[in-house]
Amino acid sequence: ISSSISTPTPTSTVMSTTTPSNMRMQSFQPEPCLGGKFLVTKLRSWRTSYERILSFHITYFTTLDPESYEITNIWNYSQIKHYTTSKTTSSSSSQNENDCLVIDVTDENGRGSTKLKFKCLPLNRDCVMSALAHRKYLFDNTTSPRRNNNAISSGHVHGHGHRQQDQNPLFGCQRQTRHNTRVHSLLLCAPHGIIELDIATRTIPIQTYFY
């Protein structure tokens, strides 16, 4: 089984003919999938677990039925309160939480929250977490105002700029090239990886090293 799912339509999401249960269709605007698709198992405490495709887009993430490719649920990144890996212990009751991640999202009415628990394919959780952290980071830094006057725009990724937030450390450094020369640059420590910035402009991302 492949850990990453290819899509029939690379530039857009295959739309469901039914309305997702947690989203009004009139407020839903289809977006390309830029963060990848991953086969997961959605774990439920009160019913049988079932497979879903977890798909990361520009402003939201979705789950899809792997057989019909219909969208079953949609959550905006602004609804995410917290996300983490699921704790694993030696007790037999927790064995099914290996390779799991938990996403805590607020309800549409803002009055409550829901914990979404997904079990990833073996050794694939890091890729899923990186994709989630990456898209959430870009969303937060393109839709939220600057938190301080020293915030640095680090250019455009997939057509969207993202800004340094004050909780993301920035370090001056030197990168050694294959010709044994040193180039001055800046490293921004983001939730999903380390972003190397051009030191001359302080705005252009050279590349991202995912954790």
E strands, 29-152, in order: 37-43, 50-56, 60-64, 71-76, 80-85, 100-106, 113-120
pLDDT tens string 47-106: 789 999 999 999 999 999 999 999 999 999 999 999 998 766 545 444 557 799 999 999
The per-residue b/e assignment along 30-53, b for 16 or more CB within 10 angstroms, e otherwise, is: eeebbbbbbbbbbbeeeeeeeebb
The span from the CA of 48 to the CA of 42, in Å, is 9
The span from the CA of 150 to the CA of 167, in Å, is 12
Assess whether pLDDT exceeds 90 at residue 5: no
The span from the CA of 111 to the CA of 123, in Å, is 35
How does the average pLDDT of the chain come out, rounded? 77
**197-204 average pLDDT score:** 81
Q: In terms of Cα–Cα distance, which of 65, 43, 38, 41 is closest to 51?
A: 41
Whole-prediction pTM: 0.71
Give start and end residues of each alpha helix (H) in 25-182: 125-143
Say if residues 84 and 101 touch (Cβ distance below 8 Å).
yes
The span from the CA of 163 to the CA of 146, in Å, is 7
